Amino acid sequence: MARLFSRFQFPDRPTFFEWFRRSGEHVLLSLVLAGIALLLNLYVGPLRTVYFTLDEASYSYPLKREVFNTTWSAVVSFAVPFATIGLLSLFFIGSFWDSNSAVSPLLTRCLSTYSTTSSTTANSIQLLGLGYALSITAFLQIWIKLLVGGPRPHFYAVCEPRDSFLGGPLYDSRICGNRDTARVNQALMSFVSGHSAAAFAGFGYLFLWINAKFKVCANVETRAWTILLLLFPVVFAIVLSGLKIVEYWHHGRDVIGGAIIGFGVACLVYKMWFRGLLDWRVNHIPNWYPSEDAMDLEGAGWGGETGLTAINFGGWKNRWSKDAEEEKEGQASPEVVVHSAWADGAVGENWKRSWKPLPMIK
pLDDT digits (tens, 9 = 90+) for 87-115: 887 777 765 555 544 444 333 333 333 33
* Segment 242-246 mean pLDDT: 95
| Band of pLDDT at residue 167, cut at 50, 70 and 90 | confident
- What is this structure's pTM? 0.75
**Predicted pLDDT of residue 15:** 60
Res 187 pLDDT > 90: yes
pLDDT digits (tens, 9 = 90+) for 262-305: 999 999 999 988 888 888 888 888 776 655 433 333 333 333 43
| Band of pLDDT at residue 338, cut at 50, 70 and 90 | very low
Which range has the worst mean pLDDT, 99-108, 183-192, 308-317? Answer: 99-108
* Segment 112-121 mean pLDDT: 31
Res 194 pLDDT > 70: yes
Per-domain boundaries in the chain? 2-273
**Predicted pLDDT of residue 13:** 56
Q: Which residues pair with 150 in a beta bridge?
A: 189
**Predicted pLDDT of residue 314:** 64
Res 214 pLDDT > 80: yes
pLDDT digits (tens, 9 = 90+) for 216-226: 988 877 888 89
**Predicted pLDDT of residue 46:** 93
* Segment 24-53 mean pLDDT: 89
Q: Which of 229, 359, 284, 280 is nearest to 101 (CA)?
A: 284
